Amino acid sequence: MHRSTTRDFFCWLLTISAAACTQSNNPSLDSAAAGGSAGDSGTTSLASGGSGGATETGGVPGTGGTAADAAVAGQSGSGGTGAAADAGIADQTGDDGGASLAADSLAVRFANMVLSHWPDPAGIWTSKGFEYNHGIVLRGIEQVFRRTGDARYLAYIKKYVDENVNDSGVVNIAATHSFDIIQPSVLLPFLYQQTGLAKYQTAADNIRARYDTIPRNPDKGFWHKDIYPNQMWLDSIYMGETFLARYGAVFGTCGSFCGDTVVEQSLLIAQHTLDAPTGLYVHAWDDSPAGQKVAWADPTTGRSPSIWGRAVGWYAMALADTLADLPADQAGRSDMLAILTSLAAGLKATQDPSTGLWYQVLDQGSQSDDWLESSATGIFVYTLKVAVNRGYLDSSYLSVAESGWKGLQTKVTTDATAGLITITDAVEGMGVEASYAGYVGHKTLSNSPHGLCAILLAASEMEAR
């Protein structure tokens, strides 16, 4: 990738927003083009995949008027970042006030259901151990904790992490590279902030060290998993870069590596997966040499063919959440904001006007076999709401989030006999598909990790008062 090509791509993006493209030398673009930064020390970064297909994750948690606020604000300050200049960044909620959740809110009801249905968080949906299916639900629980201060939620998260991290800070995690198994690590800085226990910082340090050996493709992009050579997936940015941004903000020991790497990876995948007509992004990109690309990849560009809703959701949410943790003067931050702005416009254009929901394949809603999907919808609702509250998007997107929230609530049911509250119509986990038919051919699930993550995050923001 040549620097001029990279700069031209982001200059085009920046014409959509108000960011300046007049500077002949943007160091962040040079950094992305070069595949690293002065603070990189030649290290690689995180890029693994997910178990059972595409890696997928939840959203950055929020705080609001809880006992967590003081700890978060204090620890972030020690991180030496300038991110607190953004509204609501110090406490990581979508607002800068003390908004909280009512006891009868959907957020609290779903959180209570999770604790009741799976008393041991290691049993949430799967018994795979330290892995994203657990981690994304716990990210949602963290959001509810930050809005309520209910110690049960903190204890639940701690129980899961303590089952996988010993007293010396050693994480019970496979040696192989996969973003699916990295994702729960984002809970480590949170627990350190809440408890002050050194083992959580040690564990976070150990996870950070893994980034130094993650394989990269020829353009310096992290592999999604070591079994997917040269592939970058949108999912990976949420699964891996949110931890790195949070680690840098909380501990302040990462130098420029964390921020530069988050920007580098976020911009690189955007360049190679952008669907210019919609402003949205295809699921993945294979940077393997010609003749060696995987079956789903275009033989010339390496791009996958379809704009899958949840993958776009992971990427959009990663932008909103990592922006909250990056220093205010981070090189490339304005480029990430420009991407989020154009992406939000694409989401607004593809939202189903009659329901407020989004489709499984975002730009194919006119097809008779495309269908409305709840997990992507919840992730988009969360992303748009926090982005408006933090000042990343203008206030017109609040109505888009509100319409999505109204639609998402139609996917919530309560069993009349058992009283079990349920989020329906979340597509199962999947890998990259070679065709539109592959995406719409997957089944939907009820109270799956992806659906629970989405409803917990969306409800925590939309119901906070």
State the catalytic residues: 235
Strand 280-281 versus strand 372-373 pairing type:
unpaired
Could you give the C-alpha distances from 307 to 184, 283, 310, 376, in angstroms and in order? 26, 6, 9, 12
User: How many whole angstroms separate alpha carbon 455 and alpha carbon 457?
Assistant: 6
Strand runs (DSSP E) across 266-374, as ranges?
274-275, 280-281, 284-286, 358-359, 372-373
Distance between CA atoms of residues 337 and 464, nearest Å: 25
Which is nearest to 250 in space by CA: 134, 59, 83, 457? 83
Q: Give the integer Cα–Cα distance in Å for 157 and 118.
A: 12
How far is residue 356's CA from residue 370's CA, in Å, rounded to a whole number?
15
Strands 421-423 and 444-445: unpaired
Nearest-angstrom CA–CA distance, 401 and 380: 7
Angle between helices 187-195 and 68-78 (to 10 degrees): 110
Phi, psi of 225 (to 5 degrees): -145, 160
The first and second tokens of residue 232, run together, are 């970058």
CA end-to-end span of the chain: 47
Angle at alpha carbon of residue 425, lines to 340 and 416, rounded to 5°: 130
Return the structure tokens found at 130: 């330290």
3-state class of 274 per DSSP? Answer: strand
